[in-house]
Structure 1
């Protein structure tokens, strides 16, 4: 019996020693391994091996209250900076999963069977996903010494997620009377893009610079542009003293709101996000995944729409941007007040 116990203990210690030798950072002598060394002293396997924790089952008869809201997450806010980290950018994770077939992208275009475009009815093919971000290829032309095109070819365009600065999420706030829990559950998530409309002036709404020009330097090929090589002796006094023209603040400036590029079904995306670590500014050992961030509501957002009989967005009945934020906070407070009014203290 003692021999058997000694053999088992010896095997265990041998396996432990063998496991430590595979990590070059823990070795006491140079070891040549076919695999690259571990980037650090431990290998983070807790995120890679995680599984999605399912939601609690809810019966329709147990739902005493339900409210659907649409939110927007602005990645330029300080609390949402983790979504834009080059080490683990959210849009890169989603695009990679869609292109590899792990996630299904849904077309946000309103149709007869999907009036709002966010009901996950129409599948968007993977080859059309990159087209929503400006195309997956670019035409490259070669010129000769006479500035003539001699050849042209298409090259793959590298996707950059820097242009995606907002996400829209659709969620339901549900009160389960069986469990006495009032909780939100995200249904879908969509990256927002700003459409590029041909013919729209990109400098619309920008005040001209001093001297009446919109740019800092004159165009040498424009005979009517003010050149920068003019000296003070050649410039009339009246032209120097004349104030710069100011654009009318009430003038109409065309504005295009960001629109969803595609929709992702969040319960499906959880199986991808649960294995993607979120970069923390203060601690590298937090062990938080993107699934944890969304489930624990560790992001800043504002409401852009709530379910209503007229199917109106906040911007459809409120024009001022500040008043829209006040309306968003009012809707948030109404959700919190519903839960607080359920209990007596």
Structure 2
């Protein structure tokens, strides 16, 4: 009887332990954005990599088809409240819908600038065309015939970027070798949408982040919107795919911009320039392929 009770207690303890482990793993996966997390006990090698996806490239055009741009699909989901945005890929701080809208808009200063003729007429940068001009002076007493209405300041209008202007996406992934399955996995964590440096209205000389999104949240959103989240198949209209499938099948081209390092520096910073960073990107990709090949050689 005592042996039976001891066995039952052991089984119950193992069940609770497994449940606690599964709960901890699920919590960790949901917090880091992974869609198919790999248990730490199965990981023999892991390297965190940041890749840049230029949606203007020919291979990436299916994600950027007219009316179904992935950038527009993401921003529309944020406006509907279906997708949560974060400040950066640490996923430590969330962004509101208003903050994302502000990050994806620019102020049109040219619409409130005045021409030389307008300045000569006495208009101010804060005047609108509805503001009455100063009244002419009375010739006998030198006083204004009527008091001039003070000009009303007009705030520069804010314009949302076109979806076609938002063609830069940064992907963060863990490149993991699973020793249980003996294969390398690309475990995508986050996607960050950028306003490119050359976009109209972006006066800064660098890309500006709009928001970062968990990959697990994006997959769920893509699946829930099959009519919009489309990877356009230019060869066969009957074989368009969901954007979630496009990422799972790696149907896009990218280049490495950062590999995890003690200084958290990008390749362009490490090697002293954008050109050198591109060359280092190619070398980093080659090194990772060679490392995977060497795993099968010994």
Return the TM-score normalized by structure 2. 0.67
CA contact (8 A) 2:69 2:164 kept: no
Which residue pairs with 1:127 in the alignment?
Answer: 98
In the alignment of these two chains, the number of paired residues is 227
The yes-or-no answer on 1:265 pairing with 2:214 is yes
Judge which range, 183-192 or 313-322, deviates more: 313-322
Which residue pairs with 2:3 in the alignment?
Answer: none
Q: How does 1:1-345 map to 2 (within 5 A)?
A: 58-108=38-88, 118-134=89-105, 142-144=128-130, 157=159, 160-194=162-196, 256-274=205-223, 275=226, 276-344=229-297
Q: Structure 1 pair 315/56, CA: closer, same or farther in 2 (3 Å)?
A: closer
Distance in 1 (CA, whole Å) between partners of 2:258 and 2:182 is: 26
Indicate the structure with greater helix content.
Answer: 2
Structure 1 stretches of 4+ moved >3 Å:
54-57, 135-142, 144-159
Gaps of 5+ in 2: 1-33, 113-126, 135-150
CA contact (8 A) 1:144 1:150 kept: no
Distance in 1 (CA, whole Å) between partners of 2:82 and 2:270 is: 39
Q: Secondary structure at the match of 2:231?
A: coil
Q: CA deviation at 1:144?
A: 4.9
Cα offsets for 1:39-88 (capped at 9, x unmatched):
xxxxxxxxxxxxxxx96552211100000010111122111122322231
Q: Structure 1 pair 84/58, CA: closer, same or farther in 2 (3 Å)?
A: closer
Q: Secondary structure at the match of 2:278?
A: helix
CA contact (8 A) 1:87 1:279 kept: no
Q: Structure 1 pair 134/159, CA: closer, same or farther in 2 (3 Å)?
A: closer
Q: Structure 1 pair 137/125, CA: closer, same or farther in 2 (3 Å)?
A: farther
Distance in 1 (CA, whole Å) between partners of 2:133 and 2:64 is: 41
Distance in 1 (CA, whole Å) between partners of 2:83 and 2:131 is: 48
Cα offsets for 1:232-285 (capped at 9, x unmatched):
xxxxxxxxxxxxxxxxxxxxxxx7221321100111110112332222222211
Q: Secondary structure at the match of 1:69?
A: strand
Judge which range, 76-85 or 176-185, deviates more: 76-85
CA contact (8 A) 2:106 2:158 kept: no
Q: C-alpha root-mean-square deviation of aligned residues, in Å? A: 3.2
Distance in 1 (CA, whole Å) between partners of 2:153 and 2:265 is: 52
